[in-house]
Amino acid sequence: MGRPRAFDEDEAVRAAVTLFGGRAYDGVSVDDLVSHLGVHRNSLYKTFGSKRGLYLTALRRHLADDVGPLLDALAGAPDAAAALRIVTSADLGLLLLAITERAPVDDEVAAEVNAALAAVDRAVADALGVSADLATAVTAAALGIVLRGNPDNAATALAQRLSPRT
């Protein structure tokens, strides 16, 4: 009979979200995971199968814990400016890294991020009553603002431009 698991899997996955979200997949070694998560190498492999297995689990957790609430918040967005503020204020680090780093080379990651982006686009379209194409443009603008590294100023400027004039 094997020994009982000596770590909290949920805590390990949350810590992996933070680690991968800050350093990306290629910037994290198995040694980094072992030391950062406090998980023995054998336990990591037994539980997640591989670094990639843990990464996929962490990405799915990020999508559920960070992108899921974003979708709920977007449902209440009264206008494009508010939708931009909601998206630019969300913690989307791991999603953005997955889009740029892993999705081009990993079909499973690509499917996860494409589904998440499609859900954000639908939430924007539903909240604002706009076409799918315009919703995609709003999402792309918001994610671009985040990638530029100054979401507050850029989002505020764009939000002011998009706000209905009274």
Would you state the pLDDT for residue 69? Answer: 95
Return the number of other C-beta atoms located less than 10 Å from residue 65's C-beta: 13
Summarize the chain as % helix, strand, coil (round to 5). 75, 0, 25
The pTM (predicted TM-score) of the whole model is: 0.87
Cα 153 to Cα 164: distance, rounded to the nearest angstrom: 19
Six-digit token pair at 50? 């591989």
Six-digit token pair at 12? 């390990």
Would you state the pLDDT for residue 48? Answer: 96
pLDDT in tens, the chain (166 residues): 555 556 799 999 999 999 999 999 999 999 999 999 989 999 999 999 999 999 999 999 999 999 999 999 999 888 888 888 898 889 999 999 999 999 999 999 999 999 999 999 999 999 888 999 999 998 998 898 888 876 666 667 766 666 655 4
Would you state the pLDDT for residue 70? Answer: 95
Q: Cβ distance 94 to 24 under 8 Å?
A: no
